[in-house]
Structure 1
Amino acid sequence: MNVIAVDDEQLALKDLMRALEKAMPDGVSHGFSSSRRALEYAENADVDVAFLDIRMPGMNGLDLAKRLKELQPEMHIIFVTSYDEYAIDAFSLHATGYLLKPVNMDELVRELTFAGERMGEAHARDDGRASGGCSRVRVQTFNGFEVFVDEKPLSFKRSKTKELLALLIDRRGASITTREACAVLWEDAPYNASQRSYFRSLVADLRSTLVSVHAEDVVVKQRDSLAIDPGAVDCDVYHFLDGDPIAVNSYKGSYLPSYSWAEFSLNRVDWPYE
């Protein structure tokens, strides 16, 4: 892991560098007393994690974070500051973490561990895409429902087929029977042979759509039930419910807005830790 630390206060920078050396003996860390020098380094070297002070002369830490993310979008930004009033601004930049000075060693190790786990997940997704695995499938539920395969939008012949997939995503691996699915998708409409037949055609259409992009393992079909395989998709709401701070920050109160039945899931999304 290649880490940079930026702080215009020399003593604070030295303390952080010593802490980083203890926290990651096998890693590499570089300290900079100015934003300009840190930015120059990042223009020529891959950086995994950047620990940034916020209040600095010239280019402050928030502006530096923006520039660093433009250079290397996958870089993890962790702010280290004496002032907690910057937390909202920090996470609006999709910061991975936020530490208050003086840095506590346990908290520093926690942030490094989390960043390392996120890097491992990213590598696993990249490996899955390269090998044609189902991790190629990315699902967006916030601010509208969309599905991407190899970062290309997945097209559906029928809007109800897309809604069926959204319903399965919402259940996060819990199976749903034909009768239950019909009750959700058609609300007050009577459950009859015609409805069951149409639902079967939706299932066939969904399978055909997934087969066309070699992602058929995303949906698990049993005798009279369907379920999503949560491990086969990279989904924003799953990351949110797992407490991922980046996913938490990306949620702006809009979850599957096109589907009225999703309103019943909003309490779970808004308060995942109750």
Structure 2
Amino acid sequence: MKVIVVDDEQHARIRLKRLLENLTINDVDVFDRSVYALEFARKNRVDVAFLDIEMPEMSGVELAKALKSTNKSINVIFCTGYSQYLQDAIDLHASGYLLKPAEQASVKKALDNLLHPIEYEKQKFYAKTFGNFDFLVDGVPLHFKRSKSKEMLAYLISIRGASANRKELIAVLFGDKYDKQTQDYLTKIYKDLIESLDSVGAEKIVRKGFNTYSVNTALFSCDLYDYDKGDPNAINAYKGEFMSQYEWGII
């Protein structure tokens, strides 16, 4: 789900972005001016737009009209401190109208009842972990320049969104050889991994923190995660083999 937040008040932008992240929605871009948001939306797919209404240059209502002229299926959710614009929201077929300060429950409710349901992009990306590991894009395995880049992604997926530090990754990928050479090589592997994912629009699946790496499990589908949820199809698909090409592969 691609989300933008537009509000000229910094604290409001930060608060709403944090609420969305708490709902595991991490593909969020924030803007303090309507013109910047509109320019972004004209170049990128946007599923949901959270808009303040009273803003300089272009109001949230005007921005909503402009966004809808660009993308008829965009879901507009107004988040404002004023109730008198409700009729404007209705006339624009908005997906929601939240009064500030928005609470997480109201944000979730609005997202659960979007006027234009989203075909989640994560369905485009699929991690196959049973048997040999592959990362599929529209059913086609993604090619990696380095086999270790693919293995790094596989390991991060196997730990289900948890973070792995550099030392842990080097131990997995190279054994216990933790030195400058392996550290430099890990940097190259990560760079190749991001370039490979970026080539298909999946670069945000891998997240880098301070000396740590993880995957955003909300951005792709995975047979392992379905198995964990008790999905019958995933349970039947598991035949005792997990990421078979890697020595560390175990559920």
TM-score calculated relative to the size of structure 2:
0.52
Total equivalences in the alignment: 136
Equivalent position SS for 2:234: helix
| C-alpha distance in structure 1 between counterparts of 2:247 and 2:175, whole Å | 10
Aligned to 2:248: 261
Return the letter of the residue paired with 1:211: D
Whether 2:209 is the aligned partner of 1:222: answer yes
Match runs of 1:223-238 below 5 Å:
223-238=210-225
Q: Does 1:179 align with 2:167?
A: yes
In the aligned structure 2, how far is the partner of 1:179 from the partner of 1:191? 7
Query: Out of 155, 158, 180, which is 2:146 matched to?
Result: 158
Q: Does 1:140 align with 2:132?
A: no
Which amino acid is the alignment partner of residue 154 of structure 1?
Answer: L
Equivalent residue, structure 1, for 2:71:
none
Q: CA deviation at 1:185?
A: 1.0
Question: Taking every aligned residue pair, what percent have the same amino acid on both sides?
Answer: 38
Matched residue type, 1:224? N
AA aligned to 2:132 is G
Task: Specify the alignment match of 1:127 in structure 2.
Answer: 119
Q: After superposition, what is the alpha-carbon deviation per residue over 1:74-122, rounded to whole angstroms, capped at 9, x for unaligned?
A: xxxxxxxxxxxxxxxxxxxxxxxxxxxxxxxxxxxxxxxxxxxxxxxxx
| Structure-2 separation of matches of 1:178 and 1:227 | 11
Q: Offset of 1:134 from its aligned partner?
A: 3.9
Q: Distance in 2 between matches of 1:234 and 1:248?
A: 15
Conserved in 1, the CA contact under 8 Å of 2:122 and 2:221? no
Contact 2:128/2:134 (<8 A) preserved: yes
CA contact (8 A) 1:219 1:229 kept: yes
Q: Summarize deviations over 1:252-274 as a string: whole Å, max 9, x none.
A: 00101111112xx33xxxxxxxx
More helix per residue: 1
Separation in 2, partners of 1:242, 1:134: 17
How big is the shift at 1:186? 1.0
Check conservation: 1:135, 1:233, Cα contact below 8 A.
Answer: yes
**Using the alignment, how far apart are the partners of 2:148 and 2:240 within structure 1?**
24
Paired residue for 2:103?
none
Shift of 1:136: 1.5
Indicate the structure (1 or 2) with the bigger Cα radius of gyration: 1
Q: Secondary structure at the match of 2:248?
A: helix
Offset at residue 163 of structure 1 (A): 0.4
Paired with 1:181 and 1:250, the residues of 2 have a C-alpha distance of: 28
Distance 1:135 1:250 in 2: 18
Give per-residue Cα distances to partners, 1:201-256, cap 9 Å, x unaligned.
00000000011111111111112111011111110011001111110011000101
Q: After TM superposition, which residue ranges in structure 1, 4 or more long, deviate above 3 angstroms?
A: none
Matched-pair contact (CA < 8 Å) for 1:161–1:203: yes
Distance 2:199 2:129 in 1: 22
Q: TM-score, normalised by structure 1?
A: 0.48
Return 5+ residue gaps in structure 2 as ranges. Answer: 1-116
